[in-house]
Copies of this chain bind each other. A is one copy, B any other.
Amino acid sequence: MPSGLVLYGYWRSSAAYRVRIALALKGLAWESRPVHLVKDGGEQHAADYAAMNPQQLVPCLRDGERVLTQSLAIMEYLDETRPGPALLPADAGGRARVRALAQLVACDIHPLGNLRVLQYLERELGIGEAQRGAWSRHWIATGFAAMEAMMAGNPATGRYCHGDTPGLADACLVPQVYNAVRWKLSLDDYPTIRRIHAACGELEAFRNAAPEVQPDAPAA
């Protein structure tokens, strides 16, 4: 099913990982254009990429002539323009809950542990590796504690973040768990998050979107 979708991403980028999950959940074919975030000072800063996406971040999705940025906006766009399972619930209250869970990750956890932020902490502020790790774990733990409280015991939570259909919030949660594991954050305090992460891991859509199976991932 050629869909004309081209994803500019990076195997280990959480935000690109979210979009890969959304594309897979909707069953869409897409072409991968890896952008190496570290090599040669970062290919995202190359002139041609910066002309397409002035933020010089990944992901960026091309749909024919249209260029889309920001992972949450991209996922909503895919949901609005493509057939396949809905990534957002049909009711306004459910949509607000799913968006809030997704934004908890995308606004209040992920940006603080992003590569450019860690580089600033190291290069401009002289913050060492141990303290950068503590910083990253702190923001993930703070966000996960809130997310756990919002989901545990809430009847709207199902097998996945919202009901029994995987969607936008799960597409944000799973990459953030991957990132937490990289930083060796214990997940003991977040049983609901662990349960949902495991449920997602049983789905091919999530497995095929995983960083380590992307074409630009280094050999194990």
Contact = CB atoms under 8 A, between A and B. Distances in A.
Interface of A: 54-57, 66, 68-70, 72-74, 76-77, 80-81, 92-93, 95-97, 99-100, 103-104, 106-108, 110-112, 117, 120-121, 124-125, 127, 131, 134-135, 138, 143, 145-147, 149-150
A112 B107 contact: no
A57 B150 CA distance: 13
B120 A96 contact: no
A146 B49 CA distance: 13
Nearest to A152: B54
Closest 3 interchain pairs by CB?
A54-B149, A73-B99, A77-B96
A10 to B, nearest CB: 16
Contact of A96 (B68, B92, B124): B68
Contact of A66 (B93, B135, B143): B93
